[in-house]
Each structure stands twice: as C-alpha cells, then as structure tokens.
Amino acid sequence: MEFKQEWLHEVLEARSKAYTPFSKFNVGAYLVTKDGKAFHGCNVENAAYGPTICAERTALVSAIAQGYKPGDFELIVVATGAEQPSSPCGVCRQVMKELCDDDMPVFMTNTAGDVIESTVEQLLPYGFSGKDLTND
C-alpha cells in the first residue's frame, strides 16, 4: 500500500494533541476503518506513569467505543518527533494483535515525513490473542 501525504497531515495533527508533561515525547496515531472513517489518537501521560495511554491505543479504543469491532480497521499511521520513525510499544502491538487483522498495514513516520511500513504480524510475530482461544 502506498503511503498518502494526507495521512501524514492527519497523524501530525493527532500528535499535536498529545498531553506529555513528563516525557515531552508526543506521539500521534491516525486510524482508518474499512468503511473510511478515521480516528485520531495521541498519548496521554499520567504522573503515576502506569495509567499513561499510548496514541495507538487511544485511536483503537475510540473506534471501539463508537461501535467498530475487531477486524474493522484498514490501517494505522503512527508519528513521533524522533529522528527515525518509532515503532509501537509492546502493549500497543498486543492491542493491535487483538483488534486488527494480522496483515493490516502499520505505517511509522516522523515529523520529517520518513516512513517505514510494516504489518501487525511483522510487529508481533507468533503473537497470541483472543483469536487463539478455544473452549475445548
């Protein structure tokens, strides 16, 4: 899939909404559903650190709260201000494994517009999710 410049604009807008008084490391996410709806996500920090939520999870949880279901997602773009595009953290990879198709594109970018493309499966090979549970 070819990266679109409009996605860069959207993910940087999402990144601008981040609340990061401690790390100052703003992250934005732009999630697109298979029916064309889009959701912004940003990281929101907390002084207790554990309650902090990442941009990717913010976007996915917002979509689920609006009635979308696992597998309804077309792609996600994640942006940081780092010199190189940054990968989603392990917790976000696990949540994407649970809610997204394994072959869903994950685009990682930065404010300079550098892009790395991956998939959920490539980011979390041999991952485990609710799809693997059986009631035998």
pLDDT score recorded for residue 130: 86
Mean pLDDT across the stretch 20-31? 98
The answer to whether 44 is annotated as binding is yes
Does 135 fall in a domain? no
What is the rounded CA–CA span in Å between residue 106 and residue 52?
22
Does 119 fall in a domain? yes
User: What's the CATH number where 98 sits?
Assistant: 3.40.140.10
Does 136 fall in a domain? no
What are the residues whose beta carbons fall under 8 Å from the beta carbon of 45, sequence distance 6 or more?
19, 20, 21, 22, 23, 52
Q: What is the pLDDT of residues 61-112, one digit of tens each?
A: 999 999 999 999 999 999 999 999 999 999 999 999 999 999 999 999 999 9
Among 2, 10, 56, 117, the one annotated catalytic: 56
Does 121 fall in a domain? yes
56 tagged catalytic: yes
Does 17 fall in a domain? yes
Give whole-number Cα distances, 28 to 14, 90, 118, 129, 136, in Å.
5, 16, 17, 24, 40
Does 123 fall in a domain? yes
What is the number of domains present in the chain? 1
* Full domain range(s) for residue 107: 5-129
